[in-house]
C-alpha cells in the first residue's frame, strides 16, 4: 500500500480533465467529458477518485439502474452499474482499485441499490480476480461486447449479502 499521501474523495468538476486523461490512457473504451459530468451530477456518491500527492491516480464512476435481478429470477431491483474504473499503471497493485470499488459499492447502498454489476474483458485476469475477491460472480458472457470484438463477462454482486468496511476511506 502507498503511504499517507494517498486519499480517496468524491469527484469534483475540476477533476474532469485528469479523470478523462486517465480514462484515455488506461482504457480502450472512452467517454466524452459530458458523460462523466452527467454521472457525477446524477450519482455523486459513486464517483470517486484516488489522489496521491495532489495528483489523481485513479477513479471509479457508477450509475444506478433498474433491472432484472441476477440473484432473484423475475425480480426487478435497483442495481449499481460500475461503468468505469481505472488506475494509472504506476499506481496499480497497491490496493487503490480495491479501495475505489469498496467505496463505490458502499455509495450504491445510499441510492437503495441491492445489487451491483459490471462488464469486464474476458482477458482482464487481474480485474476478474479482484472482482471475485470482492464477492462478484460471473453472471453471463456477452459475445463481441467491445469494439475490438472481445467478449465481456457480466459480473454481479448481491450488495445485501456482502458488507464492506470503509474505515480506511474516512476522507470521502
38-47 tens-digit pLDDT: 999 999 999 9
pLDDT score of 17 = 96
What is each CA distance from 127 to 120, 156, 172, in whole angstroms? 7, 13, 23
pLDDT score of 140 = 95
pLDDT score of 23 = 94
Q: What is the mean pLDDT of residues 27-50?
A: 94
Q: Which domains does the chain have, with CATH numbers?
A: 6-169 (3.40.630.30)
And the C-alpha cell for 12? Answer: 469534483
Residues making up the chain, counted from first to last: 172
95 pLDDT exceeds 80?
yes
pLDDT score of 62 = 97
Higher pLDDT, 163 or 108: 108
Residue 1 binned pLDDT confidence (cut-offs 50, 70, 90): very low
pLDDT score of 152 = 95
User: What does the pLDDT look like over 116-162, one tens digit per residue?
Assistant: 999 999 999 999 999 999 999 999 999 999 989 999 999 999 998 87
- High-pLDDT (> 90) share of the chain, %: 82
3-state secondary structure labels for all residues of the chain: CCCCCEEEEECCHHHHHHHHHHHHHHCCCCCCHHHHHHHHHHCHHHCEEEEECCEEEEEEEEEEEEEECCCCCCCEEEEEEEEEEEECHHHCCCCHHHHHHHHHHHHHHHCCCCEEEEEEECCCHHHHHHHHHCCCEEEEEECCCCCCCCCEEEEEEECCCCCCCCHHHCCC
The C-alpha atoms of residue 73 and residue 68 are separated, in whole angstroms, by 7
50 pLDDT exceeds 60?
yes
Amino acid at each position: 500500500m502507498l503511504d499517507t499521501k494517498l486519499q480517496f474523495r468524491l469527484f469534483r468538476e475540476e477533476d474532469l480533465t485528469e479523470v478523462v486523461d486517465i480514462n484515455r490512457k488506461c482504457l480502450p473504451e472512452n467517454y466524452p467529458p459530458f458523460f462523466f459530468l452527467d454521472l457525477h451530477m446524477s450519482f455523486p456518491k459513486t464517483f470517486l477518485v484516488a489522489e496521491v500527492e495532489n495528483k489523481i491516480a485513479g477513479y471509479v464512476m457508477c450509475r444506478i439502474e433498474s433491472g432484472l435481478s441476477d440473484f432473484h429470477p423475475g425480480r426487478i431491483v435497483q442495481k449499481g452499474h460500475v461503468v468505469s474504473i481505472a488506475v494509472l499503471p504506476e499506481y496499480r497493485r497497491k490496493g487503490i482499485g480495491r479501495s475505489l470499488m469498496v467505496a463505490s459499492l458502499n455509495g450504491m447502498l445510499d441510492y437503495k441499490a441491492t445489487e451491483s454489476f459490471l462488464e469486464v474483458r474476458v482477458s482482464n485476469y487481474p480485474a476478474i480476480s479482484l472482482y471475485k475477491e470482492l464477492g462478484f460472480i460471473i453472471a453471463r458472457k456477452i459475445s463481441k461486447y467491445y469494439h475490438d470484438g472481445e467478449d465481456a463477462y457480466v459480473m454481479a454482486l448481491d450488495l445485501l449479502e456482502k458488507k464492506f468496511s470503509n474505515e480506511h476511506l474516512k476522507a470521502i
